[in-house]
């Protein structure tokens, strides 16, 4: 009887071992979620709200946009050609933060279900000019910004105000183009490769921010 019990215990241990060897990850956690995609809202902000955002952004000090160099220092380069200003969260601007957060919750629930806590960066007001203004292929993650989860772009210009300046995504194959309509609010994973193509004329204005959480793990 004791030998039979020992044999049964050994068989059970072997089965558990085989199961752990053949199921390194949990299959039930897989889904059809397309992490390499974007989610957008049309007319998320009214024309009046957009004019107010532009007014706030242009009253802040505009500076040349920078990139992070190989030495991890911020530098102005031909890789990114635009001007930016930063919009703090104040009594005057809290409505912008609140509205973006409202849409971010919807987009995240619909597509990714990332663990998002809050903003960490200020809102970035950006102007690209028709002298070739652009931002080449990049992601929004890196040293010092590793906890970004969702990137966000709000279109503050109409498509008729500029030529070029298309926000494109590259999930590893076909290039995806984001609609350019005034008030279009687009969310995408911060690890998704994207760019703004060069402008040949006009001015493209946008508002950019990032929603953060614990580092991806």
pLDDT of 14 > 60? The answer is no
Tokens (6 digits) for 177 = 């183009």
Average pLDDT along the chain: 89
pLDDT, mean of residues 48-59: 98
Could you give the CA distance from residue 163 to residue 128 in angstroms, rounded to a whole number?
A: 11
Give the containing element (helix H, strand E) for 189. strand 185-189
Please state, in angstroms and as integers, the Cα–Cα distance from residue 192 to each residue in 51, 86, 135, 181, following that order: 29, 23, 14, 21
- Structural domain boundaries in the chain: 31-212
pTM: 0.85
Strand partners, 64: 83
| Res 69: pLDDT | 67
Express as a percent the part of the chain with pLDDT over 70: 84
Q: Domain 31-212: what homologous superfamily?
A: q2cbj1_9rhob like domain (2.60.120.620)
Strand partners, 206: 126, 155
């Amino acid at each position: 009887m004791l030998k039979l019990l020992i044999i049964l215990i050994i068989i059970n241990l072997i089965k558990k071992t085989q199961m752990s060897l053949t199921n390194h990850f949990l299959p039930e956690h897989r889904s059809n979620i397309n992490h390499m995609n974007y989610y957008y809202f049309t007319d998320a902000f009214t024309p009046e709200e957009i004019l107010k955002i532009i007014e706030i952004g242009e009253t802040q000090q505009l500076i040349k946009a920078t990139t992070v160099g190989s030495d991890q220092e911020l530098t102005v380069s031909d890789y990114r050609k635009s001007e930016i200003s930063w919009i703090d969260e104040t009594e005057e601007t809290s409505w912008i933060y609140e509205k973006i957060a409202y849409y971010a919750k919807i987009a995240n629930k619909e597509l990714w279900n990332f663990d998002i806590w809050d903003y960490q960066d200020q809102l970035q007001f950006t102007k690209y000019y028709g002298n070739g203004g652009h931002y080449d292929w990049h992601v929004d993650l890196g040293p010092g910004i590793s906890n970004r989860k969702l990137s966000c772009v709000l279109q503050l210009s109409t498509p008729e105000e500029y030529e070029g300046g298309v926000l494109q995504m590259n999930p590893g194959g076909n290039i995806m183009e984001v609609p350019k309509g005034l008030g279009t609010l687009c969310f995408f994973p911060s690890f998704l490769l994207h760019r703004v193509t060069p402008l040949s004329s006009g001015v493209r204005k946008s508002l950019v921010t990032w929603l953060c959480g614990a580092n991806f793990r």
